[in-house]
Structure 1
Amino acid sequence: MSRRAGYAESWDLTYLVEQLRELIGHDLRLDEVLAEELEDVLGSLVQRNQRLRVLQRMVNAERAPDDLAALRGALEDMDRELLTRLPALLERLRLALP
């Protein structure tokens, strides 16, 4: 990611996503609520990845600073939400390990 984008990916979020990746590689006992929560978080991560790609394309195309700021703000909001949601989800997934 270019420094011009002004967006720095959170190492804390990266660490939590790596933990999630490790946990979903196991045979988990998921109830319906936990499965839905996991699906929702995974959907948010996919959406976040798509926004990161759009931001990179916009930076490379040297788009207007206002456009970049809006997308950067949306990414930062999404990161904050994921940083709030992931720790509890990870704990619940650990409890679902056989």
Structure 2
Amino acid sequence: MFVLELTYTVPVDAVDVALDAHIRWLDEQYAAGVFLASGRKNPRDGGVILAVGDDRARIETVVAADPYVTAGFCAYRITEFAMTKTVPELAAYREPQRP
């Protein structure tokens, strides 16, 4: 499991120019089963995405295709974690606990 935190590197009004393309990219990742949840940070200086993938390299490839990245509008921080406890609706994404 991965937490993707994006931080805008330009003013928000500049980011909004690529918003439609960014939303299409998000929709593609949801359809592919990569993204589970996403949204804006408050204050609006970026966003957060919850993603699943086999390895970090695959997630880095996905992130590199974000129109915000290709336009130079944001930077991503990728955090991998083992999701061992969840609400029942996310049980399929749990990882076994290790000692």
Instruction: Please state which band the TM-score falls in when normalised by the shorter chain.
Output: 0.3 to 0.5
Give the TM-score, by structure 2 length.
0.35
Structure number with greater CO (CA < 8 Å, separation at least 6) is 1
Larger Rg: 1
- The structure richer in helix per residue is 1
Give the TM-score, by structure 1 length.
0.35
